[in-house]
Chains A and B, each alone.
Chain A
């Protein structure tokens, strides 16, 4: 009993026909939709993963941006505070200097005024003293010269003084 003897042409015919029929039917109604659906699903998963990755990256970027912004804001605040502090110090010192200069000036003015007043007063006193002395001297001289004896005595004393010299 050889293999050829066992070979049945009818079975071969039916097998080929039915298998090809099955192949084409399955290809159209089963394999194509199945493989397409699976491919779509895989593509979907891939896309979703990529999108998630992107979102994560964006999140990170955003976070980094936020961080940067925060840092900048902080730096700006610090700078502003420092500036303000400096300004305050400067203002205080300026005010101090100005006040001091003004004070000095005022003191100088006052001193000058006092000095001039003093001078004026002294000059006044001097003139008054002079006029008084002149009046006194007048009176005294008048008194002295009112009697002859006394005038002669005076001349004598004065002459006596003068000869002594």
Chain B
């Protein structure tokens, strides 16, 4: 739903943009537009080096400011080298007798001259090595992980020093921890079992929130808007849900009607019901991964498009207007960053609640929030 609105907004801007610039010379704007589009595309994707900004120098060459990250490849042996060797896709790298080339943010195996073969849809057909590089996203995950570790380790330590009262930044984070415990875990999972899920819920909440916020900084690393990241997170929710599932949870899936009718009457219903319930096991985490991915991705696209519009308008009305819009959207994105972290945590807790359910209060929750 939210994504739809954002996509519509984006479409409106895409339609308005050409109208407003049609009076100007076309060639220059076309270049600028494709440049912006490529820039946005590039920004949304993961990258093998950490670039802060790039510019076109007096010599007509692109200059990149940033630093290299290690590239780790597996292709009949381990290949490790700095990403700077690719020179942003301009050069072929030789490692242990193999040649690699960076092409559209992906690494392909090539021959010594770096030939890329294409199929009829202009997709590269070269073999891809197993790419375990420390990319920009992985780098940010490590940074966020370290930040979280020291932050919450510090918070945990202040309790000991200060008679159970947090101090410093912990005063800000403790209420959030308590909120997750009291308003997310307890009501959804239940008083008896919520404790064992707390570490995951807390970690996932702060992890997503911090990465979302990092995505809004000028460094703009779009980590949570990456499908691989959200898939990994949702898979963990999936595994935790199903591995901690109680007998009642499985009974609810494979025998949803219970003893309410004779078995002979259940057969025709179960032909439909059981596949739906089984599908539900997979759809729930799938919705998690798509929701987070789509929201963050769409937010970044809208924001970057609005910033890009400033350079397309280049006049005294359009540019401030798109600046104002970009500013407004930025504020909304800060809210969305928190909201998406909250929703992911909340829904994970809800699914854990289904899994940890004991029969005595199974009926009360039935069908309540299944459609989420």
CB-CB contacts below 8 Å: A2-42 with B: 3, 6-16, 18-23, 25-27, 29-35, 37-38, 40-41
Whole-angstrom distance between the Cβ of A33 and the nearest chain B Cβ: 4
Q: Which of B142, B145, B156 has the most CB atoms of chain A within a 10 A radius of its CB?
A: B156
Query: Is B116 interfacial (CB 8 A cutoff)?
Result: no
Q: How far is the CA of A25 from the CA of B226 in the complex (A)?
A: 24
The residues in B between 193 and 214 inclusive whose CB is less than 8 angstroms from any CB of A are: 195, 198-200, 202-203, 207
CB distance from B120 to the nearest CB of A (A): 16
Query: Dominant SS at the A interface?
Result: helix
Q: Chain A contact residues (Cβ within 8 angstroms of B): what range?
A: 20 to 34
Measured between alpha carbons, how far is A16 from B204 in the docked complex, in Å? 12
Q: In the bound complex, how far is the Cα of B72 from the Cα of A41, in angstroms?
A: 47
Instruction: Say yes or no for A103: interface residue by CB 8 A criterion.
Output: no
A38 lies within 8 A of B231 (CB): no
| Cα–Cα distance between A37 and B159 once the two chains are bound (Å) | 6
- Taking a contact as CB atoms under 8 Å apart, the answer to whether A40 and B207 are in contact is no
Q: B181 in the interface, Cβ–Cβ < 8 Å?
A: yes
Contacts of A7 in B (CB 8 A): 227-228, 231
Asked if B36 lies at the interface with its beta carbon under 8 angstroms from chain A, I say no
Contact B164 A31 (CB under 8 A): no
In the complex, which residue of chain B has the Cβ closest to the Cβ of A44? B164
**A20: chain B residues within 8 A (beta carbon):** 236
- A41 to B158, alpha carbons, bound, how many Å? 13
In the complex, chain B residues whose CB is within 8 Å of the CB of A37:
156, 159-160, 164
Chain B residues whose C-beta falls within 8 Å of the C-beta of A8 in the assembled complex: 46, 131, 135, 226, 228
* Chain A 84-97: CB-based contact to B (< 8 A → 1; otherwise 0): 00000000000000
- Which residues of chain B are near A13, meaning CB under 8 Å? 132
- Of residues 127 through 142 on chain A, the ones whose CB sits less than 8 Å from some CB of chain B are none
- The one of A14, A16, A26 in contact with B148, judged by C-beta atoms closer than 8 angstroms, is A26
Q: Are B178 and A14 in contact (CB under 8 A)?
A: no
Chain B 154-172 against A: per-residue CB contact (8 Å), 1 yes, 0 no? Answer: 0111011000110000000
Q: B233 contacts which of A9, A19, A33 (Cβ < 8 Å)?
A: A19
| Bound form: Cα–Cα A30–B236 in Å | 20
Minimum C-beta distance from A93 to chain B (A): 77
| Cα-based distance from A73 to B343 in the complex (angstroms) | 70
The 7 closest A-B pairs by CB, nearest first: A30-B152, A37-B159, A33-B156, A27-B199, A11-B228, A15-B232, A12-B228
What are 21 A-B pairs at a CB distance below 8 A? A7-B228, A8-B226, A10-B72, A10-B132, A11-B226, A14-B132, A14-B135, A15-B138, A16-B232, A19-B141, A19-B203, A22-B149, A26-B152, A29-B152, A30-B149, A31-B202, A33-B157, A34-B155, A34-B159, A37-B156, A37-B160
